[in-house]
Chains A and B, each alone.
Chain A
Amino acid sequence: MIKAVETAVHDGDGDAQGGPRLVRVRILRQDAPGEESYWERFEVPYVENMNVISILQQVAAMARSQDGRRVAPVAWDCNCLEEVCGSCTMLINGRTRMACSALVDKLLEEDGEEIELRPMSKFPVVRDLVVDRRRLFRALERVHAWVPVDDSYDHGPGPRISPEDQEDAYPLSTCMSCGCCLEACPQFTKVEVTRREDETAEAFEKRRKAAFDAAFVGAHAISQAVLFNGHPTGKMIADERMAGLTAPGGVQMCGNAQNCVAVCPKSIPLTRSIARAGRAATVWAIRKLFDR
């Protein structure tokens, strides 16, 4: 037992009393879907310039709670650790954000003695801080978020694009599907579908997709639709995207709380995208009326 703790503290800073300075963290845990959640506290040695990921790495290495009990390591999602892959979204001191760019010094400055970690609340918990964000990717299918090229063979370069249009499109294209905007959105509520005992995997998948599709599509997907509708080739299937955007759960569900843009770690102008999509949806609906 001692061994793990000792090795984990090897580069902790010593304080005036000679012991390592410790960082306290409380984590809302859940062993599996449908189980009760519970709080557990941990203490890890402070390291200069550390982030929430380094806390979780040390928690995993120690696998002991603050009171010395042997516990299973906390599960969490991460990959790039430089805020570009979108994996490590969680609620840190109540705020939805990426764990990699959450620096401990700043957190302690803002919020005193203890850091609180919770899983996102708008997605089903898989385990501890890991949530199932498949709905987020499904939303990209709903709005046909792609350029409909003929094929991947050589047909010369893409369309000429002005620097202004590129500078308009690029920020939208940096969306890393982290889900912060969805977590903060009052219209985006949790959809959790569990497999029935007699259900085949395919039938379950179909039922889950239908449940996803009936609920709010989300700011990230609306913004992607705007991105592709602005692309010279992408706009060739703008109607398909508008159909997705105006279906139940579409852009009309946005209540304009503007939380999405406030929490986006990449400062993507999501409300501008929603406004554009809203206007386009109105025009599209009127045009459809006259096209009949």
Chain B
Amino acid sequence: MAQPKILVIGGGLAGLSAAMRLAEIGADVDLVSLVPVKRSHSVCAQGGINSVNTLTRQQGDDEWKHFDDTVYGGDFLQHQPPVKEMADWGPRIVDLMDRLGVPFNRTPEGFRDQRRFGGTLYKRTAFAGATTGQQLLYALDEQVRRREVEGKVKKWEFWDFLGPVLDESGRCRGAICQDLVTMQFRAFPADAVILATGGCGLIYGRSTMSMVCNGSAVSRAYRAGAWYGNGEFIQVHPTAIPGADKLRLMSESARGEGGRVWVPRQPHDPRDPRDIPEAERLYFLEERYPKYGNLVPRDIATREIFDICTNEGLSVEKDRLCVYLDLTHVPRETLDRKLGGILEIYEKFQGVDPRVVPMKIFPAVHYSMGGLWVDYEKSGSGGMVEGSPRNHQTNIPGLYAIGECDYQYHGANRLGANSLLSCIFSGLFCAGGVVAGASAGRRTAAEESSRLFEGALRREEERHRKLLARTAGDENPYDLHLQLGNLMTRVATVVRRNEQLAAAYAEVCSLAERWERCAVSDTGNWTNQNVVFTKSLGDMFPLAKLILKGAMLRDECRGAHFKPDFAMPGLAATDPAEKRLEAERWCDRFEANTRRWLKTTVARHGDGGEPEISYEDVDTSLIPPRPRLYGLVGGEMIEEVWKERQAGTRQPAETSA
């Protein structure tokens, strides 16, 4: 048969690495993106990319430990074979990016330098200044441009994906997209469609995400029948710079290079932070987590910062929540060489030099661990079978998802510098399987009846036309978006409570109804950003609902999902025997909770638009789940009991309670 035609939606790290590899193995690639691909959100990633490397290997590190750190950091919620495969590929991927010309920082001898990131004790993170995502994206952009010149890739920039086109058997046969300049619609028949459209931070109004990260492409696939996994797991990054239009990321690498988080012990201490003596500063992360210090996993750092400000009233400022992130003790030369890019951002947007004055930061919505549910084929060695058409395929045959918009790699919490790896890995790795699936003797898209596409095209045109005709409405889409964002930020971020989630769900339903009465202030058909925004806002509600419902139903704490009503506090007893008994009970409860809740949340778009939630077992066949004990009081005792149980020397003390 002829070359398979593959449609890739999204040109960030995942989409570009897929396009690069697909073009190389002989596919004919159409690459659709809301923005010129070089401007994709991946450019915002700052800190680096993780992999085992020659140095850490000699310190006792290996791929298995990277895999273990990732699943432990993610609280065991991810299927393990894909994660193992990714960790195994890590060194090869960083080598590849190095060959593509990414200017990674160097050691004096000319090797790649590495820094330490959260959730690990090894220096696994390769970096290019503090703009690693930008540098990785540019390297892939350049390779795809090269293939474009060769005629193997065709880019469609400033195009919006409106939805997949499914045939009568339910197989994806292509997609309908819209030109954001001319507002023309076009059908893209394809043998497979890959979504690589990133996260959905805009549902939260302001976040660290770019303006294209509105989740609309994923929402459109979800409405067409694709399942969504672990929607309630949204990462809130511990350190961001508050702003009126956006919350700008302050990379974890600031802490990786020695940055210390603190607040004055005296609430709202009016003194210049530089004049507050050491003894009057509370380095709360270092104090509470002596092992990892400022580099505890993100969910924990976020919660602690949130807690110190809201519950303990120790926010630096009185009317605005923030803590200090202090780099002023690090030599200026080191800061400029390793963190220049992000420190410039702070200086540019805050007007204060962070090399001299401690930064003021606060947590912000940052990453969607959840995303479209995707399949994989497990290999004999516990990884994934390379070239299997099942890898990264959604439940809709022929429709794939990779990068941040899939749910596969990060479980309940993503470790820093693992996302760049998962994006590039999933793009490269899926390509062979996508082509194999596309070529497996099926009717090709070109042979598919044009009636299918004409019908889909007409439906989208009709939807668009109806939106434009809604000039009499009394609702303002930007206002509704503001309300949705404030609501989601209030109830579905750091701390979650069932009664708030339930109320918020009802409120989202009413916002969605009000959206039906949105007036479009621009009714033209030329570069109409107003109607495009309104459309994407409408697509935020189904995702907001599944996030809220998933969070509401999940009565436990896991990774980024924290419900104080279901928390498992540390041990209170001091008497050794009592403490031991308490640890036994803790482990019993942990085991019961694992049985009940160590499951993937799967949301299906039900009749009437409400999400239908079910649960799927997680493949934990390689590393048995164990308690995540970072800094928990009595953690040593729990660990001791746990290890004895694992070794089978003691039966679970089921009757001890």
Seen from chain A, the residues whose Cβ lies within 8 Å of a Cβ on chain B are 3-4, 7-8, 11, 31-32, 47-51, 53-54, 57, 60-61, 63, 70, 72-73, 75-87, 100-101, 103, 126-128, 130, 133, 137, 140-141, 144-149, 151-152, 154-158, 160-163, 165-167, 169-170, 173-174, 176-177, 228, 231, 233-234
A87:B39 contact, CB within 8 angstroms: yes
Interface-facing stretch out of B99-107, B442-450, B552-560, B624-632: B99-107
B99:A155 contact, CB within 8 angstroms: yes
Q: How far is the CA of A234 from the CA of B530 in the complex (A)?
A: 43
Interface-facing stretch out of B143-151, B401-409, B488-496, B583-591: B143-151
Seen from chain B, the residues whose Cβ lies within 8 Å of a Cβ on chain A are 17, 20-21, 24, 35-36, 38-41, 43-44, 92, 95-96, 98-101, 103-112, 128-129, 131, 134-135, 138-139, 142-143, 145-146, 148-149, 181, 210-212, 243-246, 248-249, 337, 341, 345, 348-351, 428, 474, 476, 478-479, 482, 521-522, 524, 526-527, 529-530, 533
Q: Could you say which residues of chain B place their CB within 8 Å of the CB of A57?
A: 245, 478
A176:B99 contact, CB within 8 angstroms: no
Q: How far is the CA of A152 from the CA of B100 in the complex (A)?
A: 9
Q: How far is the CA of A148 from the CA of B95 in the complex (A)?
A: 15
Q: How far is the CA of A166 from the CA of B474 in the complex (A)?
A: 56
Q: Could you say which residues of chain A place their CB within 8 Å of the CB of B98?
A: 157-158
B530:A141 contact, CB within 8 angstroms: no
Q: Could you say which residues of chain A place their CB within 8 Å of the CB of B142?
A: 140, 145-147
Closest-CB distance, B559 to chain A (whole angstroms): 26
Q: Could you say which residues of chain B place their CB within 8 Å of the CB of A50?
A: 244-245
B39:A82 contact, CB within 8 angstroms: no
B110:A146 contact, CB within 8 angstroms: no
Q: How far is the CA of A251 from the CA of B24 in the complex (A)?
A: 32
- Ranked nearest first, the 6 interchain pairs of A and B with the lowest CB-CB distance are A158-B98, A61-B478, A63-B521, A146-B142, A160-B110, A127-B527
B38:A75 contact, CB within 8 angstroms: no
B99:A158 contact, CB within 8 angstroms: yes
Q: Could you say which residues of chain B place their CB within 8 Å of the CB of A8?
A: 478-479
Q: How far is the CA of A61 from the CA of B341 in the complex (A)?
A: 32
Q: How far is the CA of A82 from the CA of B243 in the complex (A)?
A: 11
A152:B428 contact, CB within 8 angstroms: yes
A233:B101 contact, CB within 8 angstroms: yes
Q: Which residue of A lies closest to B94 (CB)?
A: A157
Q: How far is the CA of A231 from the CA of B44 in the complex (A)?
A: 25
B99's partner among A75, A147, A228 (CB-CB below 8 A) is A147
A156:B95 contact, CB within 8 angstroms: yes
B530:A73 contact, CB within 8 angstroms: yes
Closest-CB distance, B573 to chain A (whole angstroms): 49
Q: Could you say which residues of chain A place their CB within 8 Å of the CB of B349?
A: 49, 51, 82, 101, 103
B245:A81 contact, CB within 8 angstroms: yes
Q: Could you say which residues of chain A place their CB within 8 Å of the CB of B533?
A: 60
Q: Which residue of A lies closest to B424 (CB)?
A: A152
Q: Could you say which residues of chain A place their CB within 8 Å of the CB of B139?
A: 147
Q: How far is the CA of A54 from the CA of B527 in the complex (A)?
A: 20
Closest-CB distance, B142 to chain A (whole angstroms): 4
Q: Could you say which residues of chain B place their CB within 8 Å of the CB of A158?
A: 95, 98-101
A152's partner among B21, B210, B337, B522 (CB-CB below 8 A) is B21
Q: How far is the CA of A260 from the CA of B351 in the complex (A)?
A: 24
B101:A234 contact, CB within 8 angstroms: yes
With most chain B CB atoms within 10 A of its CB, the pick from A63, A103, A228 is A63
A161:B95 contact, CB within 8 angstroms: no
Would you mind naming 26 contact pairs between A and B with Cβ atoms under 8 Å apart?
Answer: A3-B479, A7-B479, A31-B526, A32-B526, A49-B349, A63-B530, A73-B530, A79-B39, A80-B210, A81-B248, A84-B341, A126-B181, A141-B148, A146-B146, A148-B146, A152-B143, A158-B99, A160-B110, A160-B111, A161-B103, A162-B106, A166-B104, A170-B103, A174-B129, A176-B39, A234-B101
Q: How far is the CA of A237 from the CA of B103 in the complex (A)?
A: 19
Q: Could you say which residues of chain A place their CB within 8 Å of the CB of B526?
A: 31-32, 127
Q: Which residue of B lies closest to A98 (CB)?
A: B348
Q: Could you say which residues of chain A place their CB within 8 Å of the CB of B530?
A: 60, 63, 72-73
Q: Could you say which residues of chain B place their CB within 8 Å of the CB of A80?
A: 39, 41, 43-44, 210-211
Closest-CB distance, B180 to chain A (whole angstroms): 10
A169:B428 contact, CB within 8 angstroms: no
Q: How far is the CA of A130 from the CA of B150 in the complex (A)?
A: 29
A141's partner among B96, B145, B345, B428 (CB-CB below 8 A) is B145
Q: Could you say which residues of chain A place their CB within 8 Å of the CB of B17?
A: 152
B345's partner among A82, A86, A103, A137 (CB-CB below 8 A) is A82
Q: How far is the CA of A86 from the CA of B137 in the complex (A)?
A: 13
B44:A84 contact, CB within 8 angstroms: yes
B138:A173 contact, CB within 8 angstroms: yes
B479:A61 contact, CB within 8 angstroms: yes
Q: How far is the CA of A32 from the CA of B526 in the complex (A)?
A: 7
Closest-CB distance, B352 to chain A (whole angstroms): 11
A79:B211 contact, CB within 8 angstroms: yes
A49's partner among B21, B41, B106, B243 (CB-CB below 8 A) is B243
B134:A231 contact, CB within 8 angstroms: no
A167:B110 contact, CB within 8 angstroms: no
Q: Could you say which residues of chain B place their CB within 8 Å of the CB of A233?
A: 99, 101
Q: Could you say which residues of chain B place their CB within 8 Å of the CB of A141?
A: 145, 148-149
Q: Could you say which residues of chain A place their CB within 8 Å of the CB of B108?
A: 163
Closest-CB distance, B194 to chain A (whole angstroms): 16
Q: Which residue of A lies closest to B93 (CB)?
A: A154
Q: Could you say which residues of chain B place their CB within 8 Å of the CB of A48?
A: 244
Q: How far is the CA of A32 from the CA of B349 in the complex (A)?
A: 33
Q: How far is the CA of A75 from the CA of B131 in the complex (A)?
A: 29
Q: Could you say which residues of chain A place their CB within 8 Å of the CB of B104?
A: 166
Closest-CB distance, A204 to chain B (whole angstroms): 13
- The verdict on A147 contacting B527 (CB below 8 Å), with A4-B476, A80-B44, A126-B181 known, is no
- In the complex, besides A72-B522, A146-B146, 11 extra interface pairs with C-beta distance below 8 angstroms are A3-B479, A57-B478, A60-B478, A82-B246, A84-B131, A85-B43, A130-B527, A154-B96, A160-B110, A173-B101, A174-B129
Q: Could you say which residues of chain B place their CB within 8 Å of the CB of A174?
A: 129, 131, 134-135, 341
Q: Could you say which residues of chain B place their CB within 8 Å of the CB of A137?
A: 36, 38, 145
Q: How far is the CA of A32 from the CA of B181 in the complex (A)?
A: 10
A161:B106 contact, CB within 8 angstroms: yes
